[in-house]
């Protein structure tokens, strides 16, 4: 039983650290760069993507023996699109300003490679529970990635965090941080930081951990 | 007693000139320009030069210590970057923003690519482009030069607290009792108000309280010294200034009201500093003679085009950055012909048939690259 738990935890952590969709696999770069202007946008985008990811992966996993191999991609897209429509209407109902801020990127969750990648590479081959755990880990990892970008960009570009002013009235915003180049700079900075961290971790151990793979 | 014979390949005669001596000479040639800048704007300019150069040196030291970089602060190249960056910023630019510009210039413009000699873009201009995009209002606010009391008092915007907005300088300038001089560069005055500054004023930067950088005449003199000592390729500045003047003259002849006269094009803004000190950066400009001319002409034309047909008053920075990006391509298409391989002697043109596995043997003979696009490397 404890072995199962450890395995599940490992499955969950995979998306957060070893195969983080943003920082390791560099998937789903469109929303990563486009909607991370503020932390709240990043968080809601991450939550929406996680919801779609978990639901689609569950359904894909349940249907894995039913779907013919030849039409699997089309089936996955239809499943994902269904949940994206749900999220689309839900966000519209919750907050119209948020809906307008995220714009077309909510609908574009359909083509987010993280989701299709998980469905194709993982959920279609495993039972529902591990599929869901893995998807949830990936979703949380994606949300963490977006938040990492969104907080830095909001703090520098606007002087606020989740809309709360941090530095008072006379803060000088860095306009570049809310422009597209700022997204690339911050993403590059985080990638550098994680690469350095991973390297340091690897260096501290004499032998690299078993099963440690670079995606 | 026989002479010692060494067997080695060419080159046999080496100049004692090293990276350090070249860079040190360029720094020395920049000193008069910096002194003139300080004479124009007082202690604010001095503080700006010190802080920006200091930030560049700190960044250089940090990145060489982190490893993997070539060069160090001892080779003076970071000093040049800092001095040029400070000269290209307004004198009252907040010091904390200047420090960020310096750090970005070295980290993003140089260290990321591997350090000295490996950068794709001119580091000083990378730093300037970053702060231009990050702080567009601060970088556009100039103050008049030769203000009374400039050696005893900072321009108020210089001393803004880190991460805080600089105070507006309008009221401060007004308190100086200077009339009829707007705190705008001649270029933006021309662009937005249609005022053309006088030729001799621009040439010496001495007339009235013009919000300009150091005198183009002085920069030209320092550039001539460097070109005479062969520390820079004369073709690049000549091509930059020449193409800008020719295009400016053609546009001026076409519509004298909308387009400024060539003298104004030549002497205003950062064209002189850019042409002589920034475009000629050895790592980012082509080495072939024809390539240098082409590269310079590209910068000159782009500068005039950006100034006259875009929303920006000045375009030297973007022109040089674009030309930097094009430099490797320019170098590739302007490879000189080796001796004895002129057009008369028939060079056997190598063809590279594409033979991937999926093309059948019958087909693959039909696939040859288009002739005349690039010359093959003949010396291989």
CB A14 within 8 A of CB A137: yes
Residue A174 and residue B165: Cβ atoms within 8 Å? Answer: no
For chain B, the C-alpha Rg in angstroms (whole number) is: 24
**Beta carbons of A174 and B136 less than 8 Å apart:** no
In a domain, B108, yes or no: yes
Q: List chain B residues with CB under 8 Å of A185.
A: 108
d(CA A94, CA A107): 16
pLDDT-derived band at B199 (thresholds 50, 70, 90) equals confident
Distance from CA of A81 to the nearest CA of B (A): 37
Are the Cβ atoms of A167 and B163 closer than 8 angstroms?
yes
In a domain, B109, yes or no: yes
Suggest the residue from A166, A171, A172 to mutate for an interface test with chain B (most B CBs closer than 10 A).
Answer: A172
Which ipTM did the prediction report?
0.81
**Residues 6 or more apart whose Cβ sits within 8 Å of residue A121:** none
The number of folded domains in chain B is 1
What average pLDDT does this structure show over B297-318? 91
Report the alpha-carbon angle A215-A50-A198, nearest 5: 30
Q: How far apart are CA A108 and CA A78, in angstroms?
A: 13
What global pTM score does this model have?
A: 0.82
Nearest to B316 by CA among B270, B249, B366: B270
Render B103-114 in DSSP notation, one character per residue. HHHHHHHTGGGT
Mean pLDDT calculated for residue range B36-51: 92
Q: What is the reported pLDDT for A55?
A: 94
- What's the half-sphere exposure (Cβ side, CA atoms, 13 Å) at B205? 26
Show the tokens assigned to A82: 């269904």
Sign for the CA dihedral angle at B65, B66, B68, B71 comes to negative
* CA pair distance A125, A109, nearest whole angstrom: 22
How high is the pLDDT of residue B344?
60
Residue A26: band (very low, low, confident or very high) from pLDDT cuts 50, 70, 90: confident
The DSSP bridge partners found for residue B70 are B115
The boundaries of the domain holding residue B103 are: 18-158+168-178
DSSP structural state of residue B4: P
Asked if the structure places residue B145 within a domain, the reply is yes
Among residues of chain A, what percentage have pLDDT more than 90? 40
In-domain check, residue B23: yes
Residue A115 CB burial class (10 angstroms; 0-12, 13-18, ≥19) = buried
pLDDT surpasses 60 at B134:
yes
**Is B57 contained in some domain?**
yes
Residue B371 is assigned to a structural domain of this protein: no
Q: What is the DSSP letter of B81?
A: H
Residue, of B345 and B98, whose pLDDT is higher: B98
Tokens of B285: 């400009």
* CA–CA dist B296, B309 (Å, integer): 20
Contact B134 A185 (CB under 8 A): no
């Amino acid at each position: 039983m404890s072995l199962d738990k450890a395995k599940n935890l490992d499955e969950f952590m995979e998306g957060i650290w070893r195969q983080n969709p943003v920082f390791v696999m560099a998937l789903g770069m469109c929303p990563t760069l486009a909607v991370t202007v503020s932390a709240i946008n990043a968080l809601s985008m991450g939550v929406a993507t996680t919801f779609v990811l978990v639901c689609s992966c569950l359904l894909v996993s349940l249907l894995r023996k039913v779907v013919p191999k030849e039409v699997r991609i089309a089936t996955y897209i239809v499943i994902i699109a269904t949940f994206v429509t749900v999220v689309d209407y839900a966000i519209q109902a919750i907050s119209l300003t948020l809906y307008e801020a995220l714009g077309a990127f909510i609908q574009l969750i359909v083509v987010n490679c993280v989701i299709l990648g998980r469905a194709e590479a993982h959920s279609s081959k495993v039972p529902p529970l591990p599929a869901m755990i893995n998807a949830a880990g990936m979703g949380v990892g994606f949300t963490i990635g977006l938040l990492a970008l969104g907080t830095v960009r909001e703090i520098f570009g606007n002087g606020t965090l989740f809309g709360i002013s941090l530095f008072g009235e006379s803060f000088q915003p860095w306009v570049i941080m809310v422009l597209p180049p700022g997204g690339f700079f911050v993403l590059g900075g985080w990638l550098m930081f994680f690469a350095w961290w991973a390297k340091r971790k690897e260096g501290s151990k004499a032998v690299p951990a078993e099963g440690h793979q670079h995606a | 007693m026989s002479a010692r014979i060494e067997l080695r390949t060419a080159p046999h005669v080496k100049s004692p000139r090293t990276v350090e001596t070249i860079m040190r000479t360029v720094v020395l040639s920049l000193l008069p320009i910096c002194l003139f800048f300080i004479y124009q704007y007082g202690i604010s300019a001095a503080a700006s030069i010190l802080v920006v150069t200091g930030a560049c040196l700190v960044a250089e030291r940090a990145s060489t210590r982190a490893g993997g970089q070539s060069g160090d602060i001892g080779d003076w190249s970071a000093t040049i970057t800092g001095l040029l960056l400070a000269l290209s910023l307004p004198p009252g630019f907040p010091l904390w923003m200047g420090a960020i510009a310096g750090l970005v210039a070295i980290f993003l413009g140089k260290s990321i690519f591997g350090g000295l000699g490996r950068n794709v873009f001119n580091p000083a201009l990378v730093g300037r482009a970053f702060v231009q995009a990050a702080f567009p209002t601060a970088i556009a606010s100039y103050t008049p030069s030769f203000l009374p009391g400039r050696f005893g008092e900072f321009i108020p915007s210089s001393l803004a607290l880190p991460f805080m907005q600089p105070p507006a300088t309008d009221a401060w300038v007004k308190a100086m009792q200077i009339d009829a001089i707007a705190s705008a560069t001649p270029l933006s005055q021309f662009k937005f108000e249609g005022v053309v500054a006088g030729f001799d004023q621009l040439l010496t930067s001495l007339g009235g309280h013009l919000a300009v950088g150091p005198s183009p005449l002085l920069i030209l003199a320092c550039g001539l010294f460097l070109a005479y000592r062969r520390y820079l390729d004369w073709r690049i500045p000549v091509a930059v200034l020449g193409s800008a003047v020719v295009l400016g003259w053609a546009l001026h002849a076409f519509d004298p009201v909308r387009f400024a006269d060539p003298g104004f094009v030549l002497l205003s803004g950062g064209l002189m500093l850019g042409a002589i000190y920034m475009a000629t950066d050895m790592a980012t400009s082509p080495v072939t003679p024809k390539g240098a001319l082409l590269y310079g002409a590209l910068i000159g034309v782009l500068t005039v085009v950006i100034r006259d047909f875009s929303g920006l008053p000045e375009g030297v920075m973007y022109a040089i950055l674009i030309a930097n990006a094009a430099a490797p391509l320019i170098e590739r298409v302007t490879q000189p012909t080796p001796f004895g391989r002129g057009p008369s002697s028939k060079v056997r043109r190598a063809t590279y048939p594409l033979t991937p596995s999926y093309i059948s043997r019958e087909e693959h003979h039909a696939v040859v690259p288009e002739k005349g696009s690039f010359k093959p490397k003949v010396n291989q």
